[in-house]
Amino acid sequence: MIAKCSYLFTFTPPLLSARMTSMQIHILSLFPPMFEGPFDNSIIKRAIDNKLVTIHIHNIRDYTHDKHGTADDSPYGGGAGMVLKAGPVFEAVEAIKLELLEKGGVAEVPVVLLTPQGRVFSQQVALELAKLNHLILICGHYEGVDERVREYLATDEISIGDFVLSGGELAAMVVVDAMVRLLPGALGSEDSAADDSHSNGLLEYPQYTRPEVFREWAVPEILLSGNHAQVDRWRREQSILRTRQRRPELLDKADLTPEERAKLTSDQSP
């Protein structure tokens, strides 16, 4: 039974087209309290209040069978650190899947292992995951997870970058936040996510707000013109320029028109 779940957050679908069912996310962790603050604020909190999505936080130790709740052990072959045991992780995932099957007829549930060895998380991956109705995230810890979890249980592996964290909990928060803001209703305006950096392969254009002049630095006149077509054109140009200056490698896959690519080439010519 999923009754072993220690924490339950209810929250809402945001920026893809309207969903017929709410999204359910199950997170397996050794440290469930870590999720209380991040899921109680800002966009995720608003999504929670709208009750369109549920997030279940499962304590992996609840699926152990000794009085100490032992979820890790020393690695075969020796070496430093401890390894998260396969048994509790398998039992937790199997219990979730069984209940989803019995109560909702859900036969297939993607299982994502958060690991530095996984494919790198990106906006496109967030869009891919946000289309799912059900998702299980496994937070690794210690020196890693027993290889049999990766080989026989996980259907996907995701890394949020080429650096080392103490565990997968922070990575899970990043993945969930990136998904939630894409579900319809999570943001105040559905255009907000579309304009974010990386949403179209480019970095976002510069943003300004009042006052018009701050310490002698003025807002670009084009933004005060009231000409929306010119403003849109300026913003597009600035996005491309900023991407070329800061992340030029993104331009290879960016959604550019033939004219924009031609201009990039001519601007870079000697």
Active site residue 143: yes
Active site residue 116: yes
Active site residue 148: no
Distance CA 116, CA 144 (A): 10
Distance CA 260, CA 55 (A): 42
Across 24-46, b (16+ Cβ under 10 Å) vs e yields: bbbbbbbebebbeebbeeebbeb
Active site residue 14: no
User: Which of these is catalytic: 19, 116, 150, 169?
Assistant: 116
Lookup: tokens for 89: 């992780």
Distance CA 50, CA 238 (A): 36
Give bridge partners of residue 8 from the DSSP assignment: 56
Distance CA 6, CA 3 (A): 8
User: Which of these is catalytic: 196, 206, 235, 244?
Assistant: 196
User: Which of these is catalytic: 73, 91, 143, 190?
Assistant: 143
Distance CA 181, CA 15 (A): 7
Catalytic residues: 116, 143, 181, 196
